Every structure is written in structure tokens, then in C-alpha cells.
Chain A
């Protein structure tokens, strides 16, 4: 069976859940091999083995670990050349999409981004499911040329364990001068909120212009629910919340079990990032707000009175 490469998303060897999801998908189309970029691959190995990686290609080269697309694409191209895989799966992120883009041109393989599902199609073609036009459409597509390259959205496939060997295969990569021509010269880590990551969270509570800049009731409710905090672009543009928390077309696309929109009107660009959520709840003063068209449950009311009351009631229910 042909190999399927899965790019591992990790922080210093701590493998993220999206990688387990991709390994699960990879098993449907071939034999999963993990591609680990960076140091501390040993720490990652047990988890990669648990989800079915037969091999772990390890690239421990400072020229590649810099989180830029061009060196990553060269590393992936080198591994593709040595393993002739049926497909390369990457977790969707800005950098991964761009590395996939360069890889697509290098190896002449078709590229599909932001897939929510991956299947083995007729004649061995790799078939995908995507959302299009602000998630108003579900599209199935297939790669018709070369090695299939697919970026997969997090939180769209339940990970299933399946023990495998996870044999480590060290890979030497020489990065070209051209790929090294762009460099990261400074990194300022973001303050950690202690909350789950937006795209991985099971519950997201978001605030919009209706918060007037006071996110405290939104954060309090999120903490009670163990949720991530999101924001509309209006709230981000006003400087009330960091851009990395923006949900929508130009922010994060989330599909949690529960999405709670507080003081958000429901513009098309915001919907594009949240309307595939399983259950949607909204609190808005304006009964005409378009967000109510999407909700499973809506409260017409002031978020500053509704949220604290809901918070107390949920705490009480949880005991």
C-alpha cells in the first residue's frame, strides 16, 4: 500500500489533536507516515504510533524549523521524492497552505485546501469534501494529477487509535539559498490565555460590537464552559480583542459542538467562519439581527444581563 504523508503539528514534540485526526484520515487512503519537523521527535513518537504512523520521517534542521513556507516545501518535496506517497496531508494553517502551494508547483500535484473530509475515491483518486461560499455549499472534489496534496481543517474528524510501529527515519535536507532568503528575525510569543485553542475547542463563546469593549461577561461564561473566546471583526478592529481570536472569513474558521454569539449581528463574513458549528446560540438586543436565522436557541436581550444569569445557572447545574 502506498504511503500517505501527514505533516505533524506539534509544539516541541507535543503532538496536537489535529495530527491524530489526519493520521485517521490517512489510513483510509494508504499507509500513514508522519513527517516531523524539529527536535524532540522521541517525545512525539508514542502518540504518532498510537494513531497509526508506520514511519516517522524526522527533519531536524534549523533551516526548516523556522516556520516559513519555502523551506518547509523543500523538505516535503525531498520526502515525497524518497517515498512516492499517494498523498500529502497537512493541517490547515496559513504557513502550511503556502508550503502546500509551493509543493504543488514543485511536484506537479493537485492541491485542495481546507478539506473537512478525505476518502479513497474511484480508481484510487483522493476525494475530498470542502465547504464553499461561506459554507453555504458542500463540495466534493478529487485530485486528478500527480500526488494529491490536501490541507485539512482541524476538528472535522474524530481521531481513532490504531497502533503502529512509528519507525524513525531521519531525513537530511539541504535548504536552497533562495528558500532561506526570507527569515524570521524576531518572535514575540503571545500571552497565553489558558483557554483552549479556538480551532480545536469544543465550545466557542464570541463577543462582537455589542460588548462595547467589555469582554468580561463573555470570558466568564467561556471559562465556566471550558470554552475558547472568539470575536467579530468589529470587536477586533476596535482593538478590544486580538486578531488571532477573530472568527470569520479573514479570521479563524471554527466548527465546535457549541457556538455562542454575543452581541454579534451575523454578517456574511462572520457566518463564513462559524455556520458549520453543530449548535448555535445567540444573544442579541435586536430581534431582527440576521444571526437569529442560524440559531438553535436565541435570546433577544442585553448580553450584560443575560450572560451573567446564564453563567450562574450553568454553574449551579454543574454543581
Chain B
């Protein structure tokens, strides 16, 4: 089975994430492969273990986004595709999904088998791109899965929501998104790191995909960020050390604050 895994390059959450003057994410700070996409990469590697099929990782992003592909190749993915074009700066979710869908068509000659994604990116955190890609490719979706079994062309997985644990079934071709409950992503081994250097990575522009620049980017987004304001840091309140009366003091605080 040939699998395309969509991976996003995001600013490190441990750094000072902020916006730039045009209200887009400041990507000058250190970035990395969105941690939640590691689970999708891991799942793809498990499904192709034993030499059955290939894993292609696909990213859209600035030059540094090649880092996300590199990490996935080090984990064991077979090849990478990086869609890189200045016109993509500031793209919203619908535009991102359009470009991903066109790139997936090109990678698979129009016949995708399985597209795997993370649950949500760790920067935009919308959790909508997978469903948008499925819509554009005319694929069924089995999303937010915390287990996945594929036998023949049958896809089966479990999804947990507040009220119930559900089993979802569909058939290939399909788009599947996975949660951080599904597996334990591997660390790249030394061998993996060395092997990754020889793996093919293609870089495509919008023209390579036949996508018009007028459909993407900040100026053509269907939504616009107008303002961003740093939340004032919370003022640290009173901290007491328990000397046998910590619980009583806590109750007094709740009572004074009219919370009980």
C-alpha cells in the first residue's frame, strides 16, 4: 500500500510564539515537525513494515519546513514532497487543503490509496484540514482514530467521544487521521538518520501543481485576522505553604471569592 502522510512544520511551542506585522504566524522562531503528525508517520511506517508499499511525506511550508520532512524520513518514511512557493504565505485552511489535495493527486497519479494525517496541527490547531482534503479528493474519512486496522481494502478504527467509543469502518481509498493515543512514535535511529540523507525529496511550486496563485496566500484567504493581543500574563495570587492548615486556607479563599 502506498501512503501519503501530511506533515506540518510548526513553531516550537516551547518558544515565544507570536505574530508578524501582516497578522500571520511568526515563523522566524525555531520550528519542528508538529508533534501530533509523528503519530501519523509512525502509523504509516507500521502499515508498510515488511516492505509492502511506500510512505511519502508531504508538507506545505517555507524553506525551513524541509526539516519536518527530514525528521519523518529519519523515522523511516521513504520519500518526501515539499510544496514551496512564496505565494503560499498566509494561506488559510481551505487553500492549504486545496494545495495538499493537488499534491496528493500528483504523487499518486490521481489514485490515492491511503492519506494519513495528524489530528490537528500544534499551531493553528483547527483540526479541519484532513476533512477538507477528503472533501476535495472525494474520499471517505475515518478520523480521530485511536486504533487502526487495515486488511485488504477494509479500514477499521476506534474513535472516542464524550458519550461513547465508536467503531468506524470504511474502505480504501480513504483519508484517516489519528490521535496521540494510537501509538508511540519511534525516535530516529543513527541508521535512520544516515539513510535519510539519501532519500529523495522533491520540491514543487504551485505551477508544478497547476494551482493558480490567485487561489492561495494571505490576499486570497477566506478569513482575515484583524487584531492579535497578547493576553496579559495572569497575576500570581497568594501562595501558601501547607503547615497543617493548607486545606483550610484553600477553603477560606474559595469562600471569600464566592466560589462556594
Q: Are B229 and A98 in contact (CB under 8 A)?
A: no
A104 at the B interface (CB under 8 A) = yes
Pick the most buried of B138, B146, B222, B225: most chain A CB atoms within 10 A of its CB: B222
Among A21-29, A36-44, A81-89, A178-186, the one that faces the other chain is: A178-186
Determine the chain B residues whose CB is within 8 A of the CB of A123 once the complex forms: none
Determine the chain A residues whose CB is within 8 A of the CB of B126 once the complex forms: 97, 111, 113-114
Partner of A137, one of B14, B19, B127: B19
Q: Are A318 and B260 in contact (CB under 8 A)?
A: yes
Instruction: Give Cα distance in the complex from A172 to B173, angstroms.
Output: 29
Determine the chain B residues whose CB is within 8 A of the CB of A110 once the complex forms: 92, 94, 221-223
Q: Given the known A-B contacts A95-B161, A309-B248, are A101 and B223 also in contact in the complex, defined by CB atoms under 8 Å? A: no
Q: Are A314 and B251 in contact (CB under 8 A)?
A: yes
Q: Are A134 and B13 in contact (CB under 8 A)?
A: yes
Number of interface residues of B (CB under 8 A): 83
Q: Give the shortest distance, in Å, between A236 (CB) and chain B (any CB).
A: 8
Pick the most buried of A104, A142, A258, A294: most chain B CB atoms within 10 A of its CB: A104
Would you call the interface of chain B mostly helix, strand, loop, or mixed?
mixed
28 contacts between A and B (CB under 8 A): A97-B128, A101-B129, A102-B131, A105-B135, A111-B94, A113-B126, A113-B128, A133-B123, A136-B17, A136-B231, A138-B228, A139-B228, A141-B224, A181-B171, A184-B166, A187-B166, A243-B146, A244-B160, A250-B36, A292-B236, A293-B233, A295-B237, A296-B234, A302-B242, A309-B251, A310-B246, A313-B248, A317-B255
- Interface residues, chain B, CB within 8 Å of chain A? 13-14, 17-19, 36, 92-94, 97, 119-120, 122-123, 125-132, 134-136, 138, 140-144, 146, 156, 160-171, 174, 179-181, 221-231, 233-234, 236-242, 245-255, 257, 259-260
8 smallest A-B Cβ distances: which pairs?
A309-B247, A301-B242, A110-B222, A313-B251, A310-B247, A101-B128, A145-B222, A181-B140
